[in-house]
Amino acid sequence: MPTSRSRRSRLPVIAVSLALPLAACSASDGSGASGDAQRLRVVMAFPPAQAMSPYGDDAVTLSRLSVVEGLTGLDENGAAKPALATSWKQSGPTTWNFTLRDGAVFQDGTKVDAPSVVRSLTAAAKASPLPRALSGTTLRATATSGSTVRVVTGEADPLLPQRLANPSLTILSAGAYRNGKVNPAGHATGPFTLTRLKGAVSATLERNPDYWGTEARSPGVDVTFAADGTARANALRTKAVDVAEYVPIAQASLLGDSYVHEFPSARTNGLSLNTRRGVFADPAMRAAAREAVDSKSLVDGVYEGRADTAQGLFGPGIPWAAGLRTDPAGRTPAASRAKVSGTKEIVLATYTNRPELPEVATLVQQQLEKKGFTVRQVVRDYAQMEADALEGRYDAFIQARNTLLDTADPVSYLASDFTCDGSSNISQLCDEKVDAAVADAASRTGLDARHRAEMTAEAAVLGTDALVPLVHERFVQGYDDARVEGVALDPMERALITADTRVG
């Protein structure tokens, strides 16, 4: 199979690239003395796709490494908590006022003040592509004093405080904005400062001595990026790293319980079908693809039971969803096998950064072919295919999506992934009923009412078959709990390395 050849050929290359940057980071280059055991060594799954720009998925990496911060943060329940803003108050349906933290400074020594916040929020609102956290909303920030900022949204936005905690809405100093680009290195506010980025290979972080909160316990972090999950697990097994992000399921039993830390997530792995062009522009073909998928075989065959069968867009990581779920209505009947067999070849794509996904793609390909489809796979690093996926150049795309990542509330995921103007709409869906359902959910101020409206929107999305849920993931992070303390196990994926993380 093409997938197997691709994966076998990648492993030795990536394994070598993993060893080299770690060796380089251990040398004295301004990042700490050689052999300093207190520095953390971390391998991350997703190499930077946009040179650590905060306006794409690199923002999540910056957040997971505690480099960037926004006006707000999120507590374990997904509610907004103080960060660079200590308090906020709504003065009208579309108007919020934020009071900034006194004494907070950027990593370059300049002050965090209202003009700097306005600059950062304005830049994010004008970014292209628009950050997912701003899908379905607009905002305008103005300074009302040196320490207060007013944010006005186009429509009432009850989730604005949670939205401003998104890593793409990080607050950076003026020095970050040069020649039309945004560079967070040395210009953020987190407990660790990004001091060096070596392409998509490695990064060096140093403790930020001027951090407004608790000072980082580790003097720095040496980061390596390795898309291959086996390489990450091997690096942990051989003690080349202290923390390995996203340990492959297949490697978990080999590492042993002391290295494997499994916990529920809000992540749903789904098959996005291109509703705008190609075979799956026909809803009957999408329905046939949905009928072909067997979620349980994926859970058993790929995830070794460390995942949950697909229930909808929202799985066990969102515990309130199951009790409010309604069946999709108005689905188009599936096309016959004869009609499916007469269609042209479809391109099924996924990425290597999550090692289970190529295996999922292989099983899904077999399931689709059993239904009569002719399938060709494309499997590459995510950074190499993100733009093509967003432009709808694949017929089908398998991705793992955290439904709480954007605002800790599913409404932003629904807006970004399934509405006509959504900035992460891989399925290219544009459906009036879906847009109306998502807009209704976004307008609800009461928590219970919004949750019910979100499940109505889920049913509307599933009714189009634009996305076929495959499995609900459980996260597996790797570190030796006898040596490493303070690693964050965050279902929302905002945190991994924190100020409390250290090698014991």
- The CA distance from 167 to 232, in Å, is 24
Q: How far apart (Å, rounded) are the C-alpha atoms in residues 395 and 329?
A: 24
Rounded-to-integer distance, Cα 497 and Cα 66, Å: 6
One-letter identity of residue 68: V
Closest listed residue to residue 150, CA positions, set 261, 268, 71: 71
| Strands, E assignment, 292-426 | 307-309, 346-351, 375-380, 396-402
Q: Count of alpha carbons within 13 Å of 165, Cβ hemisphere only?
A: 26
Residue 475 has what pLDDT? 87
pLDDT 10s digits, 280-296: 999 999 999 999 999 99
How does pLDDT run across 273-282, given as a tens digit for each residue?
999 999 999 9
| Arithmetic mean of pLDDT over the chain | 90
Is 256 within 8 Å of 73 (Cβ atoms)? no
Cβ-based neighbours of 44, under 8 Å, separated by 6 or more: 61, 64, 65, 223, 224, 225, 226, 245
Cα 401 from Cα 411, distance rounded (Å): 14
| Structure-block tokens of residue 503 | 């090698």
Cα-flanking dihedrals φ and ψ of residue 284, to 5°?
Answer: -65, -35
Q: How many Å apart are CA 37 and CA 504, to the nearest integer?
A: 9
Each of the 504 residues of the chain gets a pLDDT tens digit; together they read: 333 323 223 223 333 334 434 433 443 343 333 344 489 999 999 999 889 999 988 999 999 999 999 999 998 878 899 999 999 999 999 999 999 999 999 999 999 999 999 999 999 999 988 888 887 789 999 999 999 999 999 988 888 999 999 999 999 999 999 998 999 999 999 999 999 999 999 999 999 999 999 999 999 999 999 999 999 999 999 999 999 999 988 898 889 889 999 888 899 999 999 999 999 999 999 999 999 999 999 999 999 898 999 999 999 888 899 999 999 988 999 999 999 999 999 999 999 988 899 999 999 999 999 999 999 999 999 989 999 999 999 999 999 998 987 788 899 899 999 999 998 999 999 999 999 999 999 888 888 898 999 999 999 999 999 999 999 999 899 999 999 999 999 888 899 999 999 998
3-state secondary structure 68-88: CCCCEEECCCCCEEECCEEEE
Judge whether 339 and 284 are in contact, CB under 8 Å. yes
Here the tokens at position 381 are: 């690093």
**Residues in contact with 418: Cβ distance below 8 Å, sequence separation at least 6, in sequence order:** 425, 427, 429, 431, 434, 438, 461, 466, 467
Note the pLDDT tens digit of each residue in 307-323: 999 999 999 888 899 99
CB-count burial class (<10 Å; 0-12, 13-18, 19+) for 266: buried
Q: Specify whether the CB–CB gap between 422 and 275 falls below 8 A.
A: no
**pLDDT tens track for 221-232:** 999 999 999 999
Query: What is the layout of strands, in order, in the sheet containing 139-145?
Result: 85-92, 95-100, 148-153, 139-145
Q: Is 446 exposed, middle or buried (0-12, 13-18, 19+ CB in 10 A)?
A: exposed
Token representation of residue 246:
């996203």
Q: What digits encode the pLDDT tens for the residues 29-79?
A: 433 333 444 899 999 999 998 899 999 889 999 999 999 999 999 988 788
